Amino acid sequence: LSGIAAMAMAVLWKVLFALWFEGNAVSEAVIGTLEEKPKAEPFTRNVLILMALVMIAIVLQGTLRDGVSNWMPTFVCESFGLDSSSAILTGVLLPIFQILCSQAAAWLFRKFSSHEAFTSGVIFAAGTVAAVLVSLVMQRSVLLTALFMAALAGCMHGVNFVLIGMVPRQFRRFGRV
């Protein structure tokens, strides 16, 4: 059902977009600029390998981020014997750390002059430290466990920001972005 709705939306968008440009005086100028693409550099084997590594990193950090985000309330509930409402309340920490870590990722990215690999590596290392700390305190303190799990998920949001938001700019010269 959702696939049918998406297809209908795509067709409607295509038709309305074409009608709007057809009656618009600017349409020929816009279409002309779209057709004048800069000459793209050819893809090399190294670029394809780099793209594959970036895609693998995106999948891994996404899996880790979503896994921790979805699993944290259940883990806290089962490990510490909290009732469901209290365990779900620990999920309030997640957005706070996500915002903080995304801001930290943007700051790191600006500070290190757009070195995406270094920036995402530093944030991933911080997430690794948070994961190790979770393993050290997970049976001792509900607050520390929730804080470190939220920090881990937040770090993965920061990595996501860099890999999905900043890395594609590097492929602009290949005409693929």
Question: Tens digit of pLDDT for each residue in 97-152?
Answer: 788 887 887 888 788 766 777 888 888 899 899 999 998 998 888 888 888 888 88
Mean pLDDT, rounded, of the chain: 75
What does the pLDDT read at residue 129? 94
CA angle at residue 122 from 69 to 127, to 5 degrees? 25
137-152 exposure pattern, b = at least 16 Cβ within 10 A, e = fewer:
ebeeebeebbbbbbbb
d(CA 118, CA 127): 14
Distance CA 139, CA 111 (A): 37
| Confidence class for position 27, pLDDT limits 50, 70, 90 | very low
Per-residue pLDDT tens digits for 37-76 = 555 555 566 767 777 887 888 888 788 778 777 788 888 8
